[in-house]
Structure 1
């Protein structure tokens, strides 16, 4: 090949350009970096967990960690996994770390902010099947990264974040232990070690419950009572029951964005006292009501079913916890005298437990249940859609909504919700809503953690996992598939209530379930499905009350309905007298 020579002037110009580019690159901003450490006074041992960095514009609404959520007003948050992190060792969060709502620290506008870091601690779990996992075990708080005892955090500090520079943050405090509630005349607290769960997890695992005793329990030692299981999220104590009325001078300046009213805290307190008066009144049915504590390493409760990732919680609750409670507090102890109800997560659990254990329960009242048909997994059909985040055409795609108000106004998308969870924890460890569905419903993945139903970053659905979900946890599909055996056992036992403007679009799955149920004789002989006009999430089936009150009336709404079921369906010779005083 013939050699080519450039003029000397051209060579000189190219050399100048190279030196200029090198100089520009060497002075190019790296962007801001946070260098995070923890004090050796907090731990001498190396720590594992999820290190979170929160950035807020102010602290008027609380510490930055308490401003994180999937609403438009969320604080900024970033997260990284740490393994064997030692005191004094710096961990870096910079522009390469994925965040929410902004995806990168480099997108943050320069200015003054309040900053806080927190370590959500993980423990090493050695399961019976040989898996070794690092997970955030519940420590009595109900699987909450903000308050979990022992989690390390920094005091919120005002800092100036520019286009470059290092900012040091030191974790100096640890969350305290959770106070254990005390027994009262009406409310008792129990905690048992579960043999089934302990065997699954390879370590002691516990179930707890708050038990509401009926009026006259001590005065009628001969009485044995029906049992009501009020399913729902982790209860720190029995919810919505107070012998004391709210103080007359209780502050009513608080504002509920959801319900557009002031003084909602006082309304809740007054309703708790109203329930106490109803519960102790002369003609109200005498029964036991329990709320269950079954937090686990993935969420604030287990969804009350057996799961490849969570463990045999369905069996543990049905065959260990409930018989123990009935023995301790004089329950009747038979399926016809046990009833299920709850809303949202609790609504799904009530229906699922009735379907999976049809002989063990006498009826369910499922309000605003989480998706009971995965053709309407909120806004996703996991069997037909290719992507959980977008509806796609040949030239554009539209984000699928995640949350709406009763007018249909959208404040977040499914992608937003899942990207926040991805920041809070990898490998389904965020403790969030979408991750717990995945942890409960999915098979075990190759890495030992739950197998993803869809790619958390992109939303692409795994069709094989979707089929596993359908066969094991799609409640409508399971009822259709097994109705010849299930139907006779579920006659008159299924009752579902949902607002037609449910914030999470949960009514869409209820419509699909109803389409099947209303064609069956077993359902039409006593069961019902009802919808609340423009009612939002947690509507319980009472059309006479506004949504902000109906969601507080689960016990007073369903206990009288349960009494009617008992009177209609109790077997011959059943005890219908000892508890009717």
Structure 2
């Protein structure tokens, strides 16, 4: 026994060395491909981007239009591609990250409609020295499933078995067509404006846009100069809520599942036509109304502030685009004669621009704003909570809710919404809600992309990034911090509205800001905070109509409201009459 032990002692180091050498040289096993994807030379030679594979159990719509946060979602899987050449096969195997099922190996065998799509990226050489690969707006508002130029395949029906050895081959042989430019009319003009500030930041020409609604009598009163009403929010195809003809009763009715109303499309048309009649009628204030286009490589909207990752959009809008529009369309061109309104993203922007540029705007009407106090970043306190996705305790983990209805029924968890984004794009590139907050508010990371506020997969919060958010974009904190300096400039200008059952829990942050506003002194804020009882997203202060109607009436609600209020905040000698002809 002793001799055998000695021999093994001599042989053991050699055996271990041989094993370690094999371990170092053996490549990790690559899971077999379930799907192979390519694109033909007729569609291009080489691309970067996010390649998405989608599986649907139904053909109610193309799979690319069925990837949602809600329970009705179908399946999606994503991989990054760089320098992908025509004819080269890209594989989707069990390592591809998916939502809501994370791996193809766990997808039940069965029949599916399958589709692939390539969300294309461009390379940007930014002024900060960072080189990044991102998408870009092509008139659709940075929407991956609608962006002109993105490649996709027609849906086909397949039988899928995760244990099958033969992969399914798919070809990106379709291309989303360009979006036609809207035509100018008597009342609506469409502007495309090159921003020098943004072009310098991004290292290429960057344009801002605007839909401009001219007042009745604009041509008949060539000497009149007008206040500017700025409607913030996601950029529509044309001026929202505007229609010069009665509703088209020949088109099929569409049902609104959100509001449980039939023929909601005709209701929208009727409201838009009614606004046209009011706008051109004898008693409506005459002013210029604009909707700004500031889609960017991260999202359909810049949040109208300066950002390390997006560039100086706040300055570009305030000091470049708006003065240009006022000069072109005979605006008064002074801060007292400008005001802002909007809902959701637009609500946050209206309030943020008022806070950051107190001299340049004379009032904001912020409905259902995105989180304006990061102690209630929806349902997360980014300063105290350690994890965004879970309420943790000694013996269980409870998922945080993401979306609810007015009765409190939850349809999405916060983690589920973020996992969907992680499939659509890594490095904050999904073009969706949580990623744009990160892109706007976060400092730039070493790789040129936004630093994560929390680990996108685990939800673990980064306190250093949270502190950066606080000092630069937490509107409630900033308002309190800077009130001694700017309070006199903001008095009477702040109006906030929110449903107390907002679908995204946005009312939580409004409560916190209201507490701060109530404590203001020398001067008091002298504004307005109001809540809609059991009202969902995006209630805007109208207690006389259901939100399905009031959400269509932003222009007619806030333009006359400001026209009355401005008399108390306009400087001595300001023209308050000529534009009310």
Q: Same fold (TM over 0.5)?
A: yes
Which position in structure 2 is the counterpart of 1:295? 295
Preserved contact between residue 195 and residue 207 of structure 2 (Cα < 8 Å): yes
Partner Cα distance (1:492, 1:355) in 2: 12
Partner Cα distance (1:32, 1:427) in 2: 25
Q: What is the total number of aligned residue pairs between the two structures?
A: 555
SS in structure 1 of the partner of residue 437 of structure 2: helix
SS in structure 2 of the partner of residue 145 of structure 1: coil
Which position in structure 2 is the counterpart of 1:157? 156
Partner Cα distance (2:258, 2:139) in 1: 28
Partner Cα distance (2:188, 2:213) in 1: 5
Partner Cα distance (1:216, 1:29) in 2: 70
Q: Does 1:533 align with 2:546?
A: no
Which position in structure 2 is the counterpart of 1:25? none
Q: Does 1:205 align with 2:200?
A: no
Which position in structure 2 is the counterpart of 1:568? 568
Which position in structure 2 is the counterpart of 1:450? 450
Which position in structure 1 is the counterpart of 2:62? 63
SS in structure 1 of the partner of residue 353 of structure 2: helix
Q: What displacement does 1:147 show?
A: 1.3
Q: Note the aligned Cα RMSD (angstroms).
A: 1.4
SS in structure 2 of the partner of residue 256 of structure 1: coil
Which position in structure 2 is the counterpart of 1:247? 248
Which position in structure 2 is the counterpart of 1:578? 578
Preserved contact between residue 540 and residue 553 of structure 1 (Cα < 8 Å): no
Q: What displacement does 1:519 show?
A: 1.5
Q: What displacement does 1:523 show?
A: 6.9
Partner Cα distance (1:527, 1:331) in 2: 26
Name which of structure 1's ranges 66-75 and 570-579 shifts more when overlaid on structure 2: 570-579
Name which of structure 1's ranges 45-54 and 242-251 shifts more when overlaid on structure 2: 242-251
Q: Please give the per-residue CA displacement for 1:264-314, whole angstroms capped at 9, x wherever unaligned.
A: 111111111111111111101111110000000000010000000000000
Which position in structure 2 is the counterpart of 1:79? 78
Partner Cα distance (1:201, 1:508) in 2: 36
Preserved contact between residue 428 and residue 449 of structure 2 (Cα < 8 Å): yes
Q: Does 1:433 align with 2:433?
A: yes
TM-score (norm: length of structure 1): 0.94
Name which of structure 1's ranges 564-573 and 433-442 shifts more when overlaid on structure 2: 564-573
Partner Cα distance (2:136, 2:283) in 1: 44
Which position in structure 1 is the counterpart of 2:114? 115
Q: Does 1:474 align with 2:474?
A: yes
Partner Cα distance (1:565, 1:321) in 2: 25
Q: Please give the per-residue CA displacement for 1:177-226, whole angstroms capped at 9, x wherever unaligned.
A: 11100001110011110000011111100000000011111111111111
Q: Please give the per-residue CA displacement for 1:122-164, whole angstroms capped at 9, x wherever unaligned.
A: 0110011211111102122210111111111101111110131
Q: Does 1:139 align with 2:130?
A: no
SS in structure 1 of the partner of residue 580 of structure 2: coil
Q: What displacement does 1:513 show?
A: 0.2
Partner Cα distance (2:489, 2:521) in 1: 12
Q: What displacement does 1:29 show?
A: 13
Gaps of 5+ in 1: 5-27
Which position in structure 1 is the counterpart of 2:370? 370
* Superposition pairs of residues 29-108 of structure 1, within 5 angstroms: 33-43=34-44, 45-60=45-60, 62-108=61-107
Q: Please give the per-residue CA displacement for 1:473-505, whole angstroms capped at 9, x wherever unaligned.
A: 000000111110111110000000000000000
Q: What displacement does 1:30 show?
A: 6.2
Partner Cα distance (2:79, 2:40) in 1: 19
Q: What displacement does 1:570 show?
A: 1.2
* C-alpha spacing 1:307/1:190, structure 2 compared with 1 (3 Å): same
* Superposition pairs of residues 265-276 of structure 1, within 5 angstroms: 265-276=265-276
Runs (4+) off by over 6 Å: 28-32
SS in structure 1 of the partner of residue 199 of structure 2: helix
Partner Cα distance (1:546, 1:504) in 2: 19
Which position in structure 2 is the counterpart of 1:500? 500
* Superposition pairs of residues 335-374 of structure 1, within 5 angstroms: 335-374=335-374
Which position in structure 1 is the counterpart of 2:8? none
TM-score (norm: length of structure 2): 0.94
Preserved contact between residue 36 and residue 169 of structure 1 (Cα < 8 Å): yes
SS in structure 1 of the partner of residue 503 of structure 2: coil
Which position in structure 2 is the counterpart of 1:8? none
Name which of structure 1's ranges 255-264 and 440-449 shifts more when overlaid on structure 2: 255-264
Name which of structure 1's ranges 270-279 and 324-333 shifts more when overlaid on structure 2: 270-279
Preserved contact between residue 222 and residue 578 of structure 1 (Cα < 8 Å): no
Q: Please give the per-residue CA displacement for 1:444-484, whole angstroms capped at 9, x wherever unaligned.
A: 01111000000000000000000000000000000111110
